[in-house]
Structures are given as structure tokens and as C-alpha cells.
Amino acid sequence: MPTDKKPSQQTASSGWRMDPIPSRPAYRHEDGNIRVPMWLTKKGRHMADTEMVLLPSEAALLADNLTNAMRDNPRSMLHELFRESATALAPGVVYVSKPDQYRL
């Protein structure tokens, strides 16, 4: 029985990786499924462009899980971009004040 613990995740340089293609948005195909264009890489080298195909229920579950994961991060991307000039009013609603705007 080995006592060495195996790493729970592979590093990006040692295995396969899927990343969304930033320039190609997800879309609903005529078959009703959601398709997300992806880059497939192995050991950091591009191997293929492909699509992740999801049933609408799977896409909704993925969206919920991603939203929850982003909510757990105390410093969101919007927070980093706007620093102290933005205020989150509600989920998905951000108020950004203009520098020359009068404060009440």
C-alpha cells in the first residue's frame, strides 16, 4: 500500500486542457443544444478547436455553478476594473459614478 499521495489535479503542462475560445460566443444550435466553442490543448500545445455540447438543462446547471463560484470570490473582475468607482447594487447591477458627477 503506497503512502505517497497523488496530486488531485494535473498541471496544465502535463495534461489535457479545454479553454473557451474568447472570440467565439456560445450559441444554441438548431438541435436545441447549447454549443460552446473550445480550444483543446495537450501539454500547452494547441491540438484542436472543438465544441462542448450541452443539453439546455446542463447549460443551466453550469451557469448556476459558475455564478456561485464567482460569487465566492470576494474580488470580482468588475471590482478589479473599477476599484472604488463602482458599487454593486444587486446581482448583475453595478453603479459606476463619473468623476465629475456631484455626490449627494
pLDDT, tens only, 47-67: 999 999 999 999 999 888 888
Query: What is the reported pLDDT for 104?
Result: 47
Query: What is the reported pLDDT for 76?
Result: 57
- Bridge partners (DSSP) listed for residue 40: 18, 48
Query: What is the reported pLDDT for 33?
Result: 95
Model confidence, pTM: 0.54
Query: What is the reported pLDDT for 63?
Result: 87
Q: What are the Cα distances from residue 17, in Å, to 11, 12, 28, 41, 99?
A: 9, 7, 23, 5, 42
Contacts of 34 (CB under 8 A, 6+ apart): 26, 27, 28, 53, 54, 55, 56, 58, 59
Place of cell 448556476: 64
Comparing CA positions, the residue from 26, 32, 102 lying closest to residue 63 is 26
Contacts of 98 (CB under 8 A, 6+ apart): none
Query: What is the reported pLDDT for 26?
Result: 93
Q: Which residues of the chain have pLDDT under 50?
A: 1, 10, 12, 102, 104
Cα 73–Cα 35–Cα 33 angle in degrees, nearest 5 = 115
- Bridge partners (DSSP) listed for residue 17: 41
Query: What is the reported pLDDT for 12?
Result: 47
